[in-house]
Amino acid sequence: MAILLSRRSNLLAVVVLLLCQLFLYATVSSSGSVLKQGGGEEFSEELLLKPFPDRKVLAHFHFQSRAPHSSSHGRHHHLFPKAIAQLVKKFRVKEMELSFTQGRWRYEQWGGFDPLSSNNAKPPGVELWAVFDVPQSLVDVYWRNLTHTLSGLFCASINFLESSTTYSAPELTFKPSFGNLRYGTLPREAVCTENLTPWLKLLPCRDKAGLSALMDRPSIYRGFYHSQRLRLTSSESGSDEVDSGIGLDQTLTVVLQPSSWRTGKTYSVETNIQPSWSISSIFGRNIPGKCVIAKSSNVYLQLDNGLVGELKNLERENAKYVANTFESEGFQSNHAFKISVTPDKVFEEVDNLHGKSTSVIYGFSVEKYSDSQPFDLGLTWKIPVVWSCQQAPLHASRFLMGSGNERGAIAISLEPTESSEGLPTSHIIDGRCELRVDIFQVVPWYIKVYFHTLQVFVDKQPRAMADVVDKIRVSPSKDKVSPGVMEMILKLPCGSKSAAFSLEFDKGFLHIDEYPPDANQGFDIPSALISFPSFNARMNFSEDEFLNNSPILSKFQHALQRHHHYMHSICIVFWIIAQCASEAC
């Protein structure tokens, strides 16, 4: 009996030991697997290239990072930048967009209707807007602290937006936010390498690998327009949205001119042909493979619908080139252009509401390229092609009227472009065809606007305000406290040839220390924002399931309902009038 017992205890001990070992292995392997998964964070990078009709090329980088909600993941981040996650948590940011831009987006040549220009044409300088998840009384305090933190993070003077003379709270023309939205711009802020450096540090691969390795600083800042943008969305867990957590979209939009001497073409023969370019000729570098941590890494080449229509027309005219048509599979050798790499996927836009030709996007995957075999995409034009990009429904411009140091007037003029000829029938409301236009304008306090002098002209005839203006919200400026905000929702009759508004103002008196050090340059009035809510800047593609994984293309599909059309800021020159008020002068 005793021997049996000892054997049993021996057996039990061995079994327990084995179980312990198994348990140990199980825990080790599970923790290892959790570490490998990365906690559900994702990162993807994309680049979109697009030729413009005025011999320039657009390069649009899009980096998207997603992190699931933090309560389930503590404070460990694998791909997502910790600085942003801490910012979202500390300032209870629900949505935020910060953009640094230099240059002006030329709507006439570069288009105003496609999703890219709607989302990425930004006013020059710094623009920041944020929606907070705090009670309305605390929003201003949180806004101030946010501006300071962002100025430290991005090496910019965003802290100037803390003073109430620089920011405003739009309600009508921006997204609905119930008073928790603050909007501010710094039109004169210079954007340079020091703003790009921390922006790139938020990416998991920095600028060492993947698409961000293309960013040659002199090439970017030599462009005609460059805009780096950061868009944050944060949603609470338990909400209805599929992707709760923090989403970070970083985009860099650059318009570059490929230099003709680099491609070695002689000037006299090829004056009408668009310059041929390649990634290495416009950036000076190739793509050395993808960022290993990225879920997907793609390059797209977009030919917009104006260009596709023009190519098809040219084909029809030159019937002898029927063998190599645009629609056939020989994309690489076409009669009009040649692409140096075979595309992996081709997307064609479908159901274009405007009945014109559809745009085409070629997709290239960077996965199979590496350091030894870098990716370089080139486009060579064979024949001269002239086309125009699709314009926004109305062309808006803003200018100053009057002269002298005492008073003046701001005028906004809206003129239709050719795309407004075929307006969709959804605009017909109550039997009248109307075009809805939203205008949002902020002027600094020293431009003392008299809102009662607002005059409306339609087809160069003065009209009553009630005819054209549906809603208007005005927040008059207070000297040295708050700027003047004007938000207008207009309903213009469809057949109108032009519309204009004018608003008179007095120039306020500034003390000598309120002038900036370079006062002779004048003051910049921030850009106004014009939206067309009834138009969809949306592109639908035939292959849907692939597109949901691609940030750029899914943005094209679910584009904002409204176009944002920024007018450039006006510069007003104030002459310094120093007055001695006391005998001590």
Partner 1 sequence: MLADDMACNARNKYPAQVFNNENHKLNLYGDNVEVDYHGYEVTVENFLRVLTGRHEAAVPRSKRLLSDEGSHILLYMTGHGGDEFLKFQDSEELQSHDLADAVKQMKEKHRFKELLIMVDTCQAATLFSQLHSPGVLAIGSSMKGENSYSHHLDSDVGVSVVDRFTFYTLAFFEKLNMYDNASLSSLFTSYNPTLLMSTTYYRTDLYQRKLEEVSVTNFFGSVMETIHTDSAYRTTHSRKTSETKMPLQESVKHDERRQLINSNVQDQTSDTKIEDKQCPFTRRWNAFQDKLEKIERIDSLVNYGFIIMFPLLLIIMFPLLLISTWLLPTFVS
Q: Which of 86, 140, 221, 383 binds partner 1 (CB under 8 A)?
A: 221
Cα separation, 530 vs 389, in Å, equals: 19
| CA-atom Rg of the chain in angstroms | 28
- Tell the smallest beta-carbon distance from residue 1 to partner 1 (Å): 13
Cα separation, 343 vs 362, in Å, equals: 6
Q: What are phi and psi of 184, to 5 degrees?
A: -150, 150
Nearer to partner 1, 241 or 518 (CB): 518
10 interacts with partner 1 by CB under 8 A? yes
Mark 210-232 as b/e (b = at least 16 C-beta within 10 Å).
bbbbbbeeebbeebbbbbbbbbb
Q: Which of 41, 42, 207, 504 binds partner 1 (CB under 8 A)?
A: 207
355 interacts with partner 1 by CB under 8 A? no
Contacts of partner 1 in 96-125 (CB under 8 A): 102
**Residue 103 and residue 223 in contact, taking contact as beta carbons nearer than 8 Å:** yes
Q: Which of 76, 82, 90, 148 binds partner 1 (CB under 8 A)?
A: 148
Nearer to partner 1, 90 or 432 (CB): 90
Cα separation, 212 vs 205, in Å, equals: 8
- Reading the block at residue 222, the tokens are 């030599």
518 interacts with partner 1 by CB under 8 A? yes
Stretch that binds partner 1, among 89-97, 217-225, 258-266, 566-574 (CB under 8 A): 217-225
- Tell the smallest beta-carbon distance from residue 189 to partner 1 (Å): 7
Nearer to partner 1, 147 or 334 (CB): 147
Stretch that binds partner 1, among 8-16, 56-64, 232-240, 409-417 (CB under 8 A): 8-16
Q: Which of 11, 20, 386, 428 binds partner 1 (CB under 8 A)?
A: 11
516 interacts with partner 1 by CB under 8 A? yes
Ramachandran assignment for 130, one of left (phi > 0), alpha (psi -120 to 50 degrees), beta (any other): beta
Give the Cβ contact number of residue 323 at 10 Å.
8
Over 434-474, what HEC string results? EEEEEEEEEECCCEEEEEEEEEEEECCEEECHHHHEEEEEE
Give Cα separations from 181 to 63, 304, 525 (angstroms).
25, 35, 21
* Helices marked H in 127-208: 139-154, 193-201
145 interacts with partner 1 by CB under 8 A? yes
Cα separation, 236 vs 94, in Å, equals: 9
Nearer to partner 1, 96 or 439 (CB): 96
Stretch that binds partner 1, among 150-158, 177-185, 300-308, 441-449 (CB under 8 A): 150-158
Q: What is the dihedral of CA 89, 148, 448, 124, to 10 degrees?
A: -90
Contacts of partner 1 in 154-193 (CB under 8 A): 155-157, 159-160, 162, 189-193
For residue 206, the 8-state DSSP code is: T
- Tell the smallest beta-carbon distance from residue 544 to partner 1 (Å): 39
- Tell the smallest beta-carbon distance from residue 145 to partner 1 (Å): 5
4 interacts with partner 1 by CB under 8 A? yes
Q: Which of 104, 144, 436, 491 binds partner 1 (CB under 8 A)?
A: 144
- Tell the smallest beta-carbon distance from residue 411 to partner 1 (Å): 27
- Name the nearest CA neighbour of 225 among 441, 60, 392: 60
Q: Which residues bind partner 1 (CB under 8 A)?
A: 4, 7-8, 10-11, 14-15, 17, 102, 144-145, 148-149, 151-153, 155-157, 159-160, 162, 189-194, 197-198, 207, 217-218, 220-222, 516-518
